[in-house]
Amino acid sequence: MRPAVRRFSIAFILLPLLTACAHSSVGSKSEPAETSAAKLNMQLGIAYMQQGNFDVALDKLNKALERDERLPEAHNAIALLYEGTSRPSLAERHFQRAIELDSNYTLAKLNYAQFLCTHGQPAAGEDRFLAIASSPPEGSTETAAKAYTGAAVCALATDRRRADNYLRQALALKPDAGGALYQMANLYYADGDYLKARAFLQRYHAQAGYTPESLWLGISIEDKLGGSPLRQEYTQILLSKFADSDVARRLKSK
- Give the pLDDT confidence of 22-65 residue by residue, as tens digits: 444 445 556 788 889 999 999 999 999 988 899 999 999 999 99
Residue 8's pLDDT band, with cuts at 50, 70 and 90, is very low
Query: Which residues have CB under 8 Å from 59's CB, separation 6+?
Result: 45
Query: What is the rounded distance in angstroms from the CA atom of residue 118 to the CA atom of residue 125?
Result: 9
Residue-range domains of the chain with CATH:
11-193 (1.25.40.10), 210-254 (no CATH)
Rg of the chain in Å (alpha carbons): 19
CB-based burial, 106-124: b 16+ in 10 Å, e otherwise: bbbbbbbbbbbbbeebbeb
pTM of this structure:
0.85
DSSP string across 64-88? HHHH-TT-HHHHHHHHHHHHHTT-H
- What mean pLDDT do residues 105-124 have? 95
pLDDT digit string (tens) for 121-141?
Answer: 999 999 999 999 999 988 899
- What mean pLDDT do residues 73-92 have? 96
